[in-house]
Chains A and B, each alone.
Chain A
Amino acid sequence: MTLRDIINKLLGRQVASASTARERLQLVLAHDRSDLSPDLLDKMRREILEVVAKYVDIDLEAGAVSLETEDRMTALVANLPIKKTINKPESTMEEIDQKQTEIQI
């Protein structure tokens, strides 16, 4: 937020648009570069969650799979908060709160 943005907001004027352009471009390019449609990405997200859910108890709603891109390299980033691990024979399903797992492809 710059001084100009604040003044524009106070005056009810349009906020500068370059940052919007930048964000929209970064998102659309991540998809273009990977050549994945939102449908396919969603399908993949669900399947990844299913696989991970076999081993650990995850919050299916909170799980996010997205594409991030930096320097022409696109990464598939899965951010899956784990509630607790399943099938641990020696311990009694102890709670592991909100551990974050990142899978990079």
Chain B
Amino acid sequence: MSSHTRIILVCSGKGGVGKTTLTANLGIALASQGAKTAVLDADFGLRNLDLLLGLENRIVYTAQEVLEESCRLDQALVRHKQESNLSLLPAGNPRMLDWLKPDDMQRIVAMLSEQFAYVLIDCPAGVEDGFKNAVSATKEAIVVTNPEVSAVRDADRVIGLLNTHGVKPVQLVLNRVRPKMIASQDMLSVEDVTDILALPLLGLVLEDEQVIVSTNRGEPLTLNGQSSPAARCYTNIARRIQGEDIPLIDPSKEGSGMRDKFRRLMQTKIF
């Protein structure tokens, strides 16, 4: 399986744009579509992937013990209760940051590649050592951003660094899209962001309160085939990763009828 394994880094530069949520949801979605998937928490300083997957109480060993060879890989892997195709390799102690090198990251990913069809790496925020270690171990990347100036600026910086490291392909996920704000021209549109960043769009995710509910519970939205707006978006992204041709949602068509027709009239360019 090793050579066919898709190793995908989920990164953003800015923190809080939805990297970990996307990683958790894509992990569950890919696994439920039948692909053996591993998610690797590369954020050793501030790990959270375990929490979003509801696996925080089942961690015995971490990537640290695997690297120190004090346990085997399969002892450290935490298999998801409901979605047995998905396993988490938890991040180790924050003190690992002092000695962790790109080589170590590559070793972990190489081990995971032998067992899984997909390895999703949840990248830490920032562009420092943690990011560089994670980049050194990946083949392709998903850049997550929000339609918001600081997130887009940081995404641009990250895209530049991914290009210099020869990561290919790099695709974009636009997270927390609010169709109403785009319609009233108070939010950067999907085209604005894709034009500025010049990246192929893998998908967009609509703003959805259910995301918070799901993180409260430690049950990603893609679990149990939920149908909230964000859940549909995450599932579509996973299917596109698998090579299916799923059309993108058009935020301006989210909702139709008189009110939306009026909204479109109001945004017609006059001069």
Contact = CB atoms under 8 A, between A and B. Distances in A.
Interface stretch (A22-30, A44-52, A86-94): A22-30
B269 A1 contact: yes
Say which size band chain A's interface belongs to.
Answer: 20 to 34
A1 B156 contact: no
B168 to A, nearest CB: 14
B189 A21 contact: no
A16 B188 contact: no
Interface string B127-153: 000000000000000000000110011
B213 interface: no
A17 B198 contact: no
B186 interface: yes
Contacts of A24: 149
Interface of A is mostly: helix
Given A18-B186, A19-B185, A71-B198, A29 B153 contact: yes
B156 A18 contact: no
B267 A4 contact: yes
A85 B138 CA distance: 56
A28 B196 CA distance: 11
B153 A18 contact: no
A91 B153 CA distance: 52
Contacts of B196: 22, 25-26, 29
Given A18-B189, A32-B156, A25 B266 contact: no
A26 to B, nearest CB: 7
Given A2-B268, A4-B266, A25-B196, A16 B156 contact: no
A33 B198 CA distance: 13
A6 interface: yes
Nearest to B267: A2
B160 interface: yes
A2 B185 contact: yes
B192 interface: yes
Interface of B: 148-149, 152-153, 156-157, 159-160, 182, 184-189, 192, 196, 198, 265-271
28 contacts: A1-B271, A2-B185, A2-B268, A2-B270, A3-B268, A3-B270, A4-B184, A4-B185, A4-B267, A16-B184, A17-B186, A18-B182, A18-B187, A18-B188, A19-B185, A21-B148, A22-B196, A24-B149, A25-B149, A25-B153, A26-B196, A28-B153, A29-B196, A32-B157, A33-B156, A33-B160, A71-B198, A72-B159
Interface of A: 1-7, 16-19, 21-22, 24-26, 28-29, 32-33, 71-72
